[in-house]
Chains A and B, each alone.
Chain A
Amino acid sequence: MTGTLPEPFAAWFAARGWTPRPHQLDVLAAAQAGESVLLIAPTGGGKTLAGFLPSLVDLHANPRPGMHTLYVSPLKALAADIARNLTRPVADMSLDITIDTRTGDTSGERRRRQREAPPNLLLTTPESLALLVSLPDAPQMFASLAAVVVDEVHALAGTKRGDQLALCLARLSTLAPGARRTGLSATVAHRQPLVDYVSSGTPARVIEVTGGAPPEITMILPEGRLPWSGHMGLFSAPEILARIRAAGMTIVFVNTRAQAELLFQELWKLNDETLPIAIHHGSLELESRKRVEAAMAEGRLRAVVATSSLDLGIDWGGVDQVLQVGAPKGVSRLLQRVGRANHRMDEASRAILVPANRFEVLECEAAILGVAARELDGDPPRPGGLDVLAQHLLGVACSAAFHPDAMFAEVRRAAPYADLTRQDFDAVLGFVEDGGYALSAYERYRRLFRDSEGRMHVMSERVARTHRMNIGTIVEEPLLKVRHVGRGGGMLGEVEEYFVNMLSPGDTFMFAGRLLRFLRLRETVCEVTDGGGGDPKVPAYAGGRMPMTTNLADRVRAMLQDPATWHAFPEPVQEWLRLQKARSRLPGRHDLLVETFPRGDRWYLVAYCFEGRNAHQTLGMLLTRRMERFGFQPLGFVATDYVLATWSAREPHDVARLFEQDMLGDDLEAWMAESSMLRRTFRNVAVIAGLIERHHPGAEKTRRQVTVNSDLIYNVLRRHQPDHILLRATRADAAGGLTDVARIAGMLARAKGRIRHMVLSRVSPLAVPVLLDIGRESVRSGESDDDLLAEAETLVAEATGTAEPPPFRPQRPAPPQRPRPDRRQGRLFA
Chain B
Amino acid sequence: MTPAPVHLAGERLMLDPEGALFWPAQRLLAVADLHFEKGSAAATSGSLLPPWDTRATLDRMAGLLRRYRPDTVVALGDSFHDAKGATRLLPQDQARLAAMTKAAAFVWVLGNHDPTPPEGIGGTSAEEWRVGPLVFRHQATPGRVLGELCGHHHPKAHIPTRGTVVTRPCFVFDGRRLMLPALGAYTGGLDVRAPAIAGLFPRGGRVFLLGRDRLFSFALPARAAAGALL
Instruction: Note whether A and B form a binding pair.
Output: yes
**Contact between B186 and A712, CB atoms less than 8 A apart:** yes
**Contact between B49 and A790, CB atoms less than 8 A apart:** no
Q: In the complex, A62 Cα to B121 Cα: how many Å? A: 75
Q: What B residues does A521 contact at CB under 8 A?
A: 193, 226
Q: In the complex, A498 Cα to B44 Cα: how many Å? A: 32
- Given A466-B46, A708-B188, A789-B216, also A504-B161 (CB < 8 A): no
Closest residue of A by beta carbon distance from B158: A501
Q: Is A463 an interface residue (CB 8 A)?
A: yes
Selected A-B contacts with CB under 8 Å, 29 pairs = A434-B48, A435-B43, A437-B50, A437-B51, A447-B48, A466-B46, A498-B165, A501-B167, A504-B227, A540-B163, A691-B47, A708-B49, A708-B186, A713-B49, A716-B39, A716-B53, A717-B50, A720-B55, A721-B50, A783-B162, A785-B166, A788-B166, A789-B159, A789-B161, A789-B216, A790-B216, A792-B218, A793-B216, A793-B217
Q: In the complex, A796 Cα to B219 Cα: how many Å? A: 9
Q: In the complex, A441 Cα to B42 Cα: how many Å? A: 15
Among B44-71, those with CB < 8 Å from A are 44, 46-53, 55-56
A254 to B: closest C-beta gap in Å: 19
Q: What B residues does A796 contact at CB under 8 A?
A: 218-219, 230
Q: What B residues does A719 contact at CB under 8 A?
A: 52, 56
A480 to B: closest C-beta gap in Å: 12
Q: Is A798 an interface residue (CB 8 A)?
A: no
Q: What B residues does A717 contact at CB under 8 A?
A: 50, 52
Q: In the complex, A717 Cα to B219 Cα: how many Å? A: 34
Q: Is B6 an interface residue (CB 8 A)?
A: no
Q: What A residues does B217 contact at CB under 8 A?
A: 793
**Interface residues of A, Cβ cutoff 8 Å to B:** 431, 434-435, 437, 439, 441-442, 445-447, 462-463, 466, 498, 501-505, 507, 520-521, 540, 691-693, 704-709, 712-713, 715-717, 719-721, 724, 778-780, 783-786, 788-793, 795-796
Q: Is B211 an interface residue (CB 8 A)?
A: yes
A439 interface neighbour in B38, B51, B163, Cβ under 8 Å: B51
Query: 8 tightest CB-CB pairs across the interface, nearest first?
Result: A778-B163, A435-B48, A445-B43, A502-B160, A720-B52, A792-B161, A501-B158, A520-B226
Q: In the complex, A446 Cα to B209 Cα: how many Å? A: 38
Q: What B residues does A463 contact at CB under 8 A?
A: 46
- Given A441-B90, A447-B46, A708-B186, also A501-B160 (CB < 8 A): yes
Q: What A residues does B196 contact at CB under 8 A?
A: none
Q: What B residues does A434 contact at CB under 8 A?
A: 48
Q: In the complex, A507 Cα to B165 Cα: how many Å? A: 16
Q: What A residues does B167 contact at CB under 8 A?
A: 501
**Contact between A712 and B188, CB atoms less than 8 A apart:** yes
B49 interface neighbour in A498, A505, A691, A785, Cβ under 8 Å: A691
Q: What B residues does A788 contact at CB under 8 A?
A: 159, 161-162, 164, 166
Closest residue of A by beta carbon distance from B50: A717
**Contact between A709 and B188, CB atoms less than 8 A apart:** yes
Given contacts A507-B228, A719-B52, A788-B161, 9 further A-B contacts (CB under 8 A): A435-B49, A445-B43, A501-B158, A706-B42, A716-B53, A778-B163, A789-B211, A791-B161, A792-B216
Closest residue of A by beta carbon distance from B52: A720
A819 to B: closest C-beta gap in Å: 31
Among B182-230, those with CB < 8 Å from A are 185-188, 193, 209, 211-213, 216-219, 225-228, 230
- Given A437-B51, A717-B50, also A502-B218 (CB < 8 A): no
Q: Is B168 an interface residue (CB 8 A)?
A: yes
Closest residue of A by beta carbon distance from B160: A502
- Given A462-B46, A521-B226, also A789-B51 (CB < 8 A): no
- Given A442-B43, A708-B38, A786-B211, also A505-B227 (CB < 8 A): yes
Closest residue of B by beta carbon distance from A793: B216
Q: In the complex, A501 Cα to B158 Cα: how many Å? A: 7
B37 to A: closest C-beta gap in Å: 12
Q: What B residues does A507 contact at CB under 8 A?
A: 228
A473 to B: closest C-beta gap in Å: 19
| Chain B positions 133 through 174: 1 when the CB is less than 8 Å from some CB of chain A, otherwise 0 | 000000000000000000000000011111111111000000
B18 to A: closest C-beta gap in Å: 13
B19 to A: closest C-beta gap in Å: 13
B62 to A: closest C-beta gap in Å: 14
- Given A719-B56, A720-B56, A793-B218, also A504-B228 (CB < 8 A): yes
Interface centre among B43, B55, B168, B225 (most CB of A within 10 A): B43
Interface centre among A434, A706, A780, A786 (most CB of B within 10 A): A786
B209 to A: closest C-beta gap in Å: 6
- Given A435-B50, A466-B46, A792-B161, also A716-B218 (CB < 8 A): no
**Contact between B209 and A789, CB atoms less than 8 A apart:** yes
Q: What B residues does A720 contact at CB under 8 A?
A: 50, 52, 55-56
B228 interface neighbour in A439, A503, A716, A783, Cβ under 8 Å: A503
**Contact between B160 and A442, CB atoms less than 8 A apart:** no
Q: In the complex, A724 Cα to B51 Cα: how many Å? A: 12
**Contact between B50 and A724, CB atoms less than 8 A apart:** yes
A682 to B: closest C-beta gap in Å: 12
**Contact between B186 and A713, CB atoms less than 8 A apart:** yes
Q: In the complex, A786 Cα to B212 Cα: how many Å? A: 7
**Contact between B56 and A502, CB atoms less than 8 A apart:** no
A502 interface neighbour in B90, B165, B193, B209, Cβ under 8 Å: B165
Closest residue of B by beta carbon distance from A433: B48
**Contact between A778 and B164, CB atoms less than 8 A apart:** yes
**Contact between B230 and A778, CB atoms less than 8 A apart:** no
Interface centre among A442, A462, A778 (most CB of B within 10 A): A442
B206 to A: closest C-beta gap in Å: 11
Q: In the complex, A704 Cα to B189 Cα: how many Å? A: 10
**Contact between B162 and A780, CB atoms less than 8 A apart:** yes
B42 interface neighbour in A708, A792, A795, Cβ under 8 Å: A708
A551 to B: closest C-beta gap in Å: 30
Interface centre among A504, A706, A724, A785 (most CB of B within 10 A): A785
B178 to A: closest C-beta gap in Å: 20
Closest residue of B by beta carbon distance from A705: B188
Closest residue of B by beta carbon distance from A518: B226
Closest residue of A by beta carbon distance from B38: A708
Q: In the complex, A441 Cα to B39 Cα: how many Å? A: 13
B165 interface neighbour in A446, A501, A715, A793, Cβ under 8 Å: A501
**Contact between B49 and A778, CB atoms less than 8 A apart:** no
Q: What B residues does A721 contact at CB under 8 A?
A: 50, 52
A687 to B: closest C-beta gap in Å: 12
A706 to B: closest C-beta gap in Å: 8
Q: What A residues does B209 contact at CB under 8 A?
A: 789
Q: In the complex, A748 Cα to B90 Cα: how many Å? A: 51
Closest residue of A by beta carbon distance from B213: A786
Q: What A residues does B162 contact at CB under 8 A?
A: 778-780, 783, 788, 791
Q: In the complex, A785 Cα to B209 Cα: how many Å? A: 11
Q: What A residues does B160 contact at CB under 8 A?
A: 501-502
**Contact between A445 and B44, CB atoms less than 8 A apart:** yes
- Given A503-B228, A715-B56, also A780-B163 (CB < 8 A): yes
Q: In the complex, A693 Cα to B49 Cα: how many Å? A: 11
| Chain B positions 11 through 44: 1 when the CB is less than 8 Å from some CB of chain A, otherwise 0 | 0000000000000000000000000001110111
Q: What B residues does A708 contact at CB under 8 A?
A: 38, 42, 49, 186, 188
Q: What B residues does A693 contact at CB under 8 A?
A: 47
**Contact between B46 and A712, CB atoms less than 8 A apart:** no
A508 to B: closest C-beta gap in Å: 14
Q: What A residues does B216 contact at CB under 8 A?
A: 786, 789-790, 792-793
| Chain B positions 61 through 96: 1 when the CB is less than 8 Å from some CB of chain A, otherwise 0 | 000000000000000000000000000001000000
A390 to B: closest C-beta gap in Å: 11
Q: What A residues does B165 contact at CB under 8 A?
A: 498, 501-502
**Contact between B163 and A691, CB atoms less than 8 A apart:** no
Q: What A residues does B186 contact at CB under 8 A?
A: 708, 712-713, 716
